[in-house]
Amino acid sequence: MEQNTYAMPRIGDQAPEFKAVTTQGQVQFPGDYSGSWVILFSHPADFTPVCTSEFMTFASLEPKFNEANCKLIGLSVDGLYSHIAWLRTIKEKIEYRGMKQVEVNFPLIEDITMEVALKYGMMMPGESNTKAVRAVFVIDPKGVIRTIIYYPLSLGRNFDELYRVVIALQTADAFAVATPADWQPGDDVIVPTAGSCGIAKERMENKSADTTCHDWFFCTRKLDKDTVLKKVLNRP
């Protein structure tokens, strides 16, 4: 049977456009999110345990993401009434790891035709023909895809890591730096490598007191936590 095939979106691409019905009304994506960061994520199915634990966790963290100018929007290939019933069940019945009466206020897209899931490469037939994998797209205020992460059906996501990704991307943009392994606000950041060895050597020799060069291609500098949080979270 012939099926629409799409190139999978890549980091650096404009987020593919779509119009969809959600639990919070119609959305036009990514236009409705212009000026905000947004995490578009898929889950395999409503009324399943790993997804339930994920939604409770993500909904509980939503204010923290919103404070970082980042909105959330979920998707599965279930229909709207399934979504509504599942989210109501979560709110009314599920208590899990200290979370209860959790209200999911971010939109959840219905995608029974799989149009959006196919467009975003969320369907991976080797894993499932009928369920989207756990995909995460972090999209910037200009609608550019900045990070893509995929998890299989059996593996629940780490939402602290997704928050770290958003803050790290915002920090990289705001301070023109890169962030090293396991970076958290307050840790040293990486000064971009200069174009040629000669320039890098000169920079190594003339570096400021808060910069450490481990070699010509690897310089870090201090960037304190307050400066990061003030800038990316607009804190006074």
- Contacts to ligand BEZ by CB under 6 A: 44-45, 48-51, 131, 153-154
**Least distance CB 149 / ligand BEZ (angstroms):** 17
Give the nearer residue to ligand BEZ in terms of CB position, either 136 or 166.
136
**Least distance CB 134 / ligand BEZ (angstroms):** 8
Catalytic residue (one of 51, 70, 197, 213): 51
**Least distance CB 48 / ligand BEZ (angstroms):** 3
Nearest CA to 36 out of 184, 229, 170, 228 is that of 170
Nearest CA to 114 out of 129, 104, 127 is that of 129
Give the nearer residue to ligand BEZ in terms of CB position, either 46 or 140.
46
Instruction: Give CA–CA dist 112/29, Å, rounded.
Output: 17
Give the nearer residue to ligand BEZ in terms of CB position, either 54 or 140.
54
**Least distance CB 104 / ligand BEZ (angstroms):** 15
**Least distance CB 44 / ligand BEZ (angstroms):** 4
Give the three-state DSSP class for 108. Answer: strand
Give the nearer residue to ligand BEZ in terms of CB position, either 27 or 85.
85
Buried b (16+ CB within 10 A) or exposed e, 166-200: bbbbbbbeebebebeeebebebbbebeebeeeeeb
Q: How many CB atoms lie within 10 A of CB 63?
A: 9
DSSP letters for 31-100:
GGGTTSEEEEEE-S-SS-HHHHHHHHHHHHHHHHHHHTTEEEEEEESS-HHHHHHHHHHHHHH-EETTEE
Known catalytic residue: 51?
Answer: yes
Give the nearer residue to ligand BEZ in terms of CB position, either 110 or 140.
110
Catalytic positions: 51
